[in-house]
């Protein structure tokens, strides 16, 4: 790329010398650290509630800490709080240095951080208060969505304008990532905020949005930051002239196409089940290409990694990142999905991605920013103190979710083939009993991860304040591209992806209501069952219970096989994420869940008759709310 005029600290175009621009960057970083602490704590609470349900019920805040509330609170705080704020801060730091100009619209960027923080806090508070909207990463209410969408638009405009003002005709690889990532975030979030969808299209919307935000925003922005980090700390690094291009374009295209891995054997079109298999397979090549580009850049210079705490953490994150596409592929294959679908394997993905690769990358990049801004360097030993518990804790917790998933899947299969027990009612004891150990060990793994996070937060606080003393150096990228080409290409990739992964499958889904849909799922507004369904979605019951029967051996005995038309009248969140509790698709057609009074009593104190149950007590609901929720469950024929 054309090298800009060399930037000197304190000059008119030095972003660190601009008080407002620096304040915007630091404010995003500070909020990121706060959200990291809150999100990690909520995640420990969520999994601790499954391992030791009685401990949560005895808490003063039990109403706000049920798994159906604490888990989505944790995920939204970590994704839209910790990772999003942290990555915006990182881009605001690196981008001006890479393009040689001051951050555009610094006052707007500084004010925008308050809008974004307000959107996250209000949305997460609504989930905690039992007002979740349903759909993974779509639970926040409309006013939070509006605030976040506007704030994401501001971030994208600030970044795009900064690049335009530089006047550079061609830009290097990290800037490609920085240009595309915020627009992909905005567009993915906007697709998830489209109102009025129900049934299968709503579930597709949820699957697409969650997957796109992970791959097209978080992974993309963090990898761009990694390129900038290596270029800053290893000035003579030698990136491959083509691997960077391959990694960028294929990452943006392929990740979101894996969304349907969570819909295998579900009530969608069969053709969708092939797409995530192919996408995950190719994404493995993409991940290896990106990792290889970093490895080649550090070839013969690994002593730089041993001396640099940020490089140590980024390397650990990259190692975990390479494992994620393989995990996706296993989830996508029909043979393995028949066993592990609706088990702990989806939780393992969240742990590996959110708490593993993505958090390690963001911690590494923020650690560099904090050191550069304060002039207080990290000793290499800090990298081991942070990376070891986070990496080890993630592998330990995810490993336990893998084991738990296999136990669950084969337990369900054994029940059907032996005809010794049913996979619902009292027979579900056979599912929960083997999981008690792995559930507890998963919570322990999360505590270890939190210990590593606390070490980072302590080090971060020690480095807040001070003044920048970093020397600015130029880096000649072996491959460059015109910014306009990157923008148009990113737009084309998103358009193709949203059409293929969300729009066309939603159109293809059967919209004609079935007899089942009209008889037991077409609930009259204002009816008790209608209110009960709203409570079911808002309380996050779908995080523990599914409402879909698949055409595979595992689900034999649960009722008629589900079709997309069965859900024509249902909102997002009905199909479910996992079977921590039994499937409820036809709960009203079998005893004792066909008795609303029994269901109500069970919701109030689930361990009175079933001491093995991991479901939290819903005694915090009012009498009318309990009655409505019980009526909804008992009416699911």
Question: Assign residue 54 a region: left if phi > 0, alpha if psi is -120 to 50, beta otherwise?
Answer: alpha
Confidence band of 14 (pLDDT split at 50, 70, 90): very low
According to DSSP, the residues that pair with 172 across neighbouring strands are 480
pLDDT (0 to 100) of residue 187: 97
Collapsing DSSP to helix, strand or coil, 481 comes out as: strand
Does the pLDDT value for residue 13 go beyond 50?
no
Does the pLDDT value for residue 142 go beyond 60?
yes
pLDDT (0 to 100) of residue 4: 39
Contact between 616 and 603 (Cβ < 8 Å): no
Contact between 345 and 206 (Cβ < 8 Å): no
Find the angle CA(53)-CA(65)-CA(261) to the nearest 5 degrees.
Answer: 85
pLDDT (0 to 100) of residue 10: 35
175 phi and psi angles, rounded to 5 deg = -70, -30
CATH topology (fold) of 515-634: Cytochrome Bc1 Complex; Chain D, domain 2 (1.10.760)
The domains of the chain are located at 15-508, 515-634
Dihedral, 413, 419, 424, 428 alpha carbons, nearest 10: -70
291-295, 465-469, 548-552: segment of lowest average pLDDT: 465-469
H/E run at residue 68: helix 67-76
What are 91-109's pLDDT values in tens digits? 999 999 999 999 999 999 9
Residue 139 Cα distances to 47, 86, 210, 572, 616, angstroms: 19, 22, 11, 10, 20
Q: How far apart are CA 140 and CA 163, in angstroms?
A: 32
Does the pLDDT value for residue 510 go beyond 80?
no
pLDDT (0 to 100) of residue 290: 97
Nearest of 264, 261, 298, 265 to residue 280 by alpha carbon: 261
According to DSSP, the residues that pair with 480 across neighbouring strands are 172
pLDDT (0 to 100) of residue 7: 36
Contact between 362 and 412 (Cβ < 8 Å): no
Contact between 481 and 170 (Cβ < 8 Å): yes
The DSSP result for 244-300, as a single string, is HHHHHHHHHHHGGGGGGGGGTTSSS-GGGGTHHHHHHHHHHHHHHHHHHHHHHHTTT
According to DSSP, the residues that pair with 171 across neighbouring strands are 481
Compute the average pLDDT of residues 447-455.
Answer: 98
Q: Which residue matches tokens 């005029």?
A: 5
Evaluated on CA atoms 584, 585, 590, 593, the torsion sign reads positive
CATH of domain 15-508: 1.20.210.10
- Percent pLDDT > 90 in the chain is 81
Does the pLDDT value for residue 277 go beyond 80?
yes
132 phi and psi angles, rounded to 5 deg = -65, 150
Q: How far apart are CA 567 and CA 82, in angstroms?
A: 34
Evaluated on CA atoms 621, 624, 627, 631, the torsion sign reads negative
Q: How far apart are CA 111 and CA 113, in angstroms?
A: 5
Does the pLDDT value for residue 64 go beyond 60?
yes
The stretches of 15-66 forming alpha helices (DSSP H) are 19-51, 53-57
584 Cβ contact partners less than 8 Å away, ≥ 6 residues apart = 545, 546, 547, 593, 633, 636
Contact between 538 and 132 (Cβ < 8 Å): yes
Compute the average pLDDT of residues 123-129.
Answer: 97
Q: How far apart are CA 311 and CA 295, in angstroms?
A: 12
pLDDT (0 to 100) of residue 62: 84
| Residue spans of beta strands (DSSP E) within 79-234 | 171-172
pLDDT (0 to 100) of residue 457: 97
């Amino acid at each position: 790329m054309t090298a800009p005029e060399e930037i000197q600290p304190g000059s008119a175009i030095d972003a660190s010398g601009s008080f407002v621009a620096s304040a915007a960057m630091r404010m995003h970083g500070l909020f990121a650290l706060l959200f990291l602490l809150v999100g990690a704590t909520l995640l420990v609470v969520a999994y601790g509630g499954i391992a030791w349900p009685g401990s949560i019920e005895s808490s003063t805040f039990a109403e706000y800490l049920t798994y159906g509330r604490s888990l989505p609170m944790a995920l939204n705080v970590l994704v839209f709080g910790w990772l999003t704020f942290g990555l915006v801060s990182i881009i605001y730091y690196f981008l001006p240095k890479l393009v040689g100009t001051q951050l555009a619209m610094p006052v707007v960027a500084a004010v925008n951080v308050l809008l974004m923080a307000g959107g996250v806090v209000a949305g997460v508070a609504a989930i905690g208060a039992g007002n979740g909207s349903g759909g993974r990463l779509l639970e926040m209410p409309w006013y939070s969505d509006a605030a976040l969408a506007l704030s994401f638009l501001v971030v994208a405009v600030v970044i795009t304008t900064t690049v335009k003002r530089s006047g550079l005709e061609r830009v290097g690889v990290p800037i490609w990532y920085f240009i595309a990532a915020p627009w992909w975030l905005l567009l993915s979030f906007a697709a998830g905020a489209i109102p009025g969808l129900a049934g299968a299209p709503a579930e597709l919307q949820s699957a697409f949005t969650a997957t796109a935000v992970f791959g097209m925003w978080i992974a993309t922005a963090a990898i761009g930051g990694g390129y900038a980090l290596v270029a800053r700390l290893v000035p003579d690094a030698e990136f491959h002239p083509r691997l960077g291009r391959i990694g960028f374009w294929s990452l943006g295209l392929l990740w979101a196409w894996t969304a349907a891995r969570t819909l295998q054997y579900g009530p969608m079109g069969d053709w969708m089940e092939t797409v995530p298999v192919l996408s995950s397979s190719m994404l493995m090549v993409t991940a290896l290409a990106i990792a290889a580009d970093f490895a080649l850049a550090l070839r013969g210079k690994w002593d730089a990694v041993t001396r640099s705490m940020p490089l140590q953490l980024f390397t650990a994150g990259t190692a975990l990142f390479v494992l994620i596409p393989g995990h996706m592929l296993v989830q996508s294959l029909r043979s393995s999905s028949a066993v592990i679908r609706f088990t702990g394997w989806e939780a393992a993905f969240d742990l590996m991605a959110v708490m593993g690769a993505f958090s390690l990358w963001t911690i590494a990049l923020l650690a560099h920013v904090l050191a550069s801004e304060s002039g207080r360097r990290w000793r290499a030993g800090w990298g081991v103190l942070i990376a070891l518990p986070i990496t080890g804790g993630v592998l330990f917790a995810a490993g336990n979710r893998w084991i738990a998933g296999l136990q669950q899947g084969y337990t369900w299969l054994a029940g059907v083939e032996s005809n010794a027990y049913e996979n619902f009612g009292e027979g579900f004891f056979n599912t929960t009993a083997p999981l008690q150990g792995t559930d507890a060990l998963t919570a322990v793994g999360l505590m270890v991860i939190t210990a590593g996070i606390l070490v980072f937060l302590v080090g971060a606080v020690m480095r807040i304040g001070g003044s920048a003393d970093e020397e600015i150096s130029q880096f000649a990228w072996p491959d460059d591209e015109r910014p306009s080409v990157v923008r148009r290409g990113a737009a084309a990739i998103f358009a193709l992806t949203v059409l293929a992964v969300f729009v066309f499958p939603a159109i293809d889904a059967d919209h004609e209501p079935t007899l089942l849909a009209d008889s037991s799922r077409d609930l009259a507004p204002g009816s008790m069952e209608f209110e009960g369904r709203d409570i079911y979605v808002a309380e996050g019951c779908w995080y523990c219970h599914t409402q879909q029967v698949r055409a595979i051996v595992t689900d034999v005995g649960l009722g008629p096989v589900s079709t997309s038309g069965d859900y024509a009248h249902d909102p997002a969140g009905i199909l479910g994420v996992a079977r921590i509790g039994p499937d409820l698709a036809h709960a009203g057609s079998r005893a004792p869940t066909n008795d609303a009074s029994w269901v109500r009593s069970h919701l109030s104190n689930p361990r009175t008759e079933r001491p093995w149950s991991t479901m939290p007590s819903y005694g915090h609901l009012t009498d009318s709310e309990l009655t409505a929720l019980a009526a909804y469950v008992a009416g699911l024929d």
